[in-house]
Each structure stands twice: as C-alpha cells, then as structure tokens.
Amino acid sequence: MTLDPGFARLPSPPYVAVIFSSRRSAHDDALYQATAARMLELARQQPGFLGEESTRGADGFGITVAYWASESDALRWKGHAEHRIAQETGRARWYEHYEIRVATVTRAYGMNPQEKST
C-alpha cells in the first residue's frame, strides 16, 4: 500500500514543532498558492527540516505544523531571506490573523494501517 502523503514521517522524539495557525484573507489566491508551494520546496532543502503537515478548511482557517530537528534549525528558516519576503507579504496581504507556537515534541504515537500491513 502507498503511504498517505499528508502525514510527515518523523524520527523518534525529541524534535521541534512550529505550529502555524492562520486565517486567510480573500486576496491573491494564485500568488499565495504559488508562494506556499515555493516555501515548502525551499523548507525541504534546509538543514534540520523533518517534515510538514498542513490543512485549511473552507472557512479560511488553516493549520500548518513544520517539524525541525532543533530549535536553531527552525530559527534559521525563520530568518531565511526568501522566506522573510514571503512572511512580510503574508502579514500585509494574505493573513487576517496568525499565531505561531514553537514547541518541543516529547511523545508521539498513532494509528497507521498502512504501516501495520507492511
């Protein structure tokens, strides 16, 4: 069976989770989508990037969780030049409101029937 690509495949804890909750504004959907895809592509190339899970409902409220090997890896990505430009555009145009919580994951478990069956 194929693995569900929506889920990040992570090592054993500890690692860092950056939880980004946001409400989208109605502006710029095509540019927003292109920028979000580019930021994910770029994040995947950064040292310490472990994976990402992301979803947004029809009401414009979304949650993205990015996983990093360490807090310094997450902070380096926060300061990445191209990412900073995207952050500024996001604040100015794409988000009505967002909250970021940086956390250390200490325990992880789940139910994955695809892994059970292999």
Q: Which of 61, 69, 70, 76 binds a second copy (CB under 8 A)?
A: 61
Q: Dig out the tokens for 58 from the structure.
A: 């029809």
Q: Which of 29, 82, 88, 96 binds a second copy (CB under 8 A)?
A: 96
Pairing label, strands 15-24, 49-56: unpaired
Instruction: Indicate if the alpha-carbon torsion angle 6, 12, 15, 19 is positive or negative.
Output: positive
Q: Which of 55, 82, 85, 93 binds a second copy (CB under 8 A)?
A: 55
Pick the stretch among 32-40, 42-50, 90-98 that binds a second copy (CB under 8 A): 90-98
Whole-angstrom Cα Rg for the chain: 15
Cis peptide bond upstream of 47, omega within 30? no
Q: Dig out the tokens for 105 from the structure.
A: 């994951």
What residues form DSSP beta bridges with 85?
none
**Cβ-based nearer residue to a second copy, 45 or 116:** 116
Q: What number of other Cβ atoms are within 10 A of residue 41's Cβ?
A: 9
Pick the stretch among 29-37, 38-46, 95-103 that binds a second copy (CB under 8 A): 95-103
x-or-dash string of contact with a second copy, 15-54, rule CB under 8 A:
--x-x-x-x-----------------------------xx
Q: Which residues here bind a second copy, judged by CB under 8 A?
A: 4, 6-8, 10, 13, 17, 19, 21, 23, 53-59, 61-63, 65, 71, 91, 95-114
